[in-house]
Amino acid sequence: MSYDVIVIGGGPSGLMASIAAAENGAKVMLIEKGSKLGKKLAISGGGRCNVTNRLPQEEVIKHIPGNGKFLYSAFSVFNNYDIIHFFENMGVQLKEEDHGRMFPVSNSAKTVVNALINKLHELEVEIRMNTVVNAVHYDEHEHTIILEDHEKIRTKSVVIAVGGKAVPHTGSTGDGYAWAKKAGHTITELYPTEVALTSNENFIKNKSLQGLSLRDVSLSVLNKKKKPIITHQMDMLFTHFGVSGPAVLRCSQFVVKELMKGQQEVPMVLDILPNEHEEHLIRSVWDSVKHNPKKAFKNILKGIVPERMLAYVLIKNDVSEDEKAGNISKETIRSIIHDIKHFSFNVHGSLPLEKAFVTGGGVSIKEIVPNTMQSKIMHGLYFCGEILDIHGYTGGYNITSALVSGRLAGMNAALEAN
């Protein structure tokens, strides 16, 4: 038995590739090693399935800092708006939330995954669940997929859609890199992205700020010369090992890259009140102090800075809990506001790739045709999704990349086979 297209991996990229290949007339088999399709897709966006993002194409690409520009030509064939139409045509109503993130109106990942599965059935894609691919054997005319139980299946085109190495219990255990290498592809260094960061700072070790979450703060990663490499304004969280939360996840890949260059620690700076001007804050606190000299100084700042952060900054500036406002000098106010606007700390590492949301690095995009996702090295070989050296922020950008590259891979794998 031989197939036109075999898609390995039933994540968003493989599901879309199978659908696109079948829609283009190919006899398709989808092979998935787990017992569920779209497992990681289903846990995205806090379990509600963040299918794509509605921001303009330019913005979507900007939010894919890991080689997002490679997707320009793919986007000219199938983009984030096409993803929205694709789901709506299958009867999945979508709604927009913050930052352009798109979710099913049902708030249930099942709606999305079931629609994709129904589509596969409608297109008569043969699905092999609980089936592990062990190897891919490349030949002059056809390729052979070798399963764990040694069964061999022949195919004209193969689409490798097995994802990266992050959160391996979802099935993505990095199996595809070896198959890509065997075909002659380069795998760029793998690293965790969208990952929590660890820090050896005393305030982390002694848990002074553990559990404190900050809303809408501005967090920057600094280079060796203390110049910002990247800044993100979002929420963040202090944990027992370091920092986490959306702003940290977005900054994380820039930290990881600095550490990969051999740096032992990476400086970060946090602005707890990014929408307030520093001099203006100093003036307004100083005015309050002058008008309320008998008030406890901490009560003047209470509504402005989260309490635990305030307590920490006051200790750092040798101001006691019940110090009266009248006893505080302008210089101390200046120093406290400076700490609030420029809270500096070092991070020393990240959680491992297994605990990251997304894999950085992968099959080098230099060896992939950008408007077909075809290998430049091997005929009948296509890659899509997170196995490629493309990674974005969470917020629907990785899933968009997976669905767009999957669409192109499936479509072109079918065209080549026929």
| Least distance in angstroms from the C-beta of 97 to ligand FAD | 11
Residues 6+ apart with CB under 8 A from 382: 17, 157, 158, 159, 160, 372, 373, 374, 375, 409, 410, 412, 413
Residues 6+ apart with CB under 8 A from 77: 371, 407, 408
| Least distance in angstroms from the C-beta of 145 to ligand FAD | 9
Q: What does each C-alpha distance from 119 to 127, 179, 181 come to in angstroms?
A: 12, 28, 32
| Least distance in angstroms from the C-beta of 276 to ligand FAD | 30
| Least distance in angstroms from the C-beta of 249 to ligand FAD | 10
Q: Which is nearer to ligand FAD, 38 or 349 (CB)?
A: 38
Q: Which is nearer to ligand FAD, 10 or 380 (CB)?
A: 10
Q: Which is nearer to ligand FAD, 134 or 198 (CB)?
A: 134
| Residue count (the chain) | 418
Q: Facing residues of 269 across strands? A: 220, 344
Instruction: Give the CA angle between residues 30, 36, 39 to the nearest 5°.
Output: 100
Tokens of 397: 């950008």
Q: Which is nearer to ligand FAD, 65 or 396 (CB)?
A: 396
Instruction: Return phi, psi of residue 227, to 5°.
Output: -100, 140
| Least distance in angstroms from the C-beta of 95 to ligand FAD | 15
| Least distance in angstroms from the C-beta of 418 to ligand FAD | 24
| Least distance in angstroms from the C-beta of 267 to ligand FAD | 28
Residues 6+ apart with CB under 8 A from 218: 231, 232, 233, 247, 270, 271, 274
| Least distance in angstroms from the C-beta of 98 to ligand FAD | 12
The closest alpha carbon to 308, from 234, 213, 397, belongs to: 213
Positions that interact with ligand FAD (CB under 6 A): 8-14, 31-34, 39-41, 43-45, 50, 132-133, 161-163, 166-167, 170-173, 175, 357-358, 385-386, 394-399, 402
Q: Which is nearer to ligand FAD, 54 or 298 (CB)?
A: 54
State how far the Cα of 345 lies from the Cα of 199, in Å rounded to an integer: 8
Q: Which is nearer to ligand FAD, 173 or 210 (CB)?
A: 173
Q: Are 116 and 38 in contact (CB under 8 A)?
A: yes
State how far the Cα of 230 lies from the Cα of 185, in Å rounded to an integer: 31
Q: Which is nearer to ligand FAD, 22 or 399 (CB)?
A: 399
For 103-118, letters b (16+ CB in 10 Å) and e give bbeeeebebbbebbbe
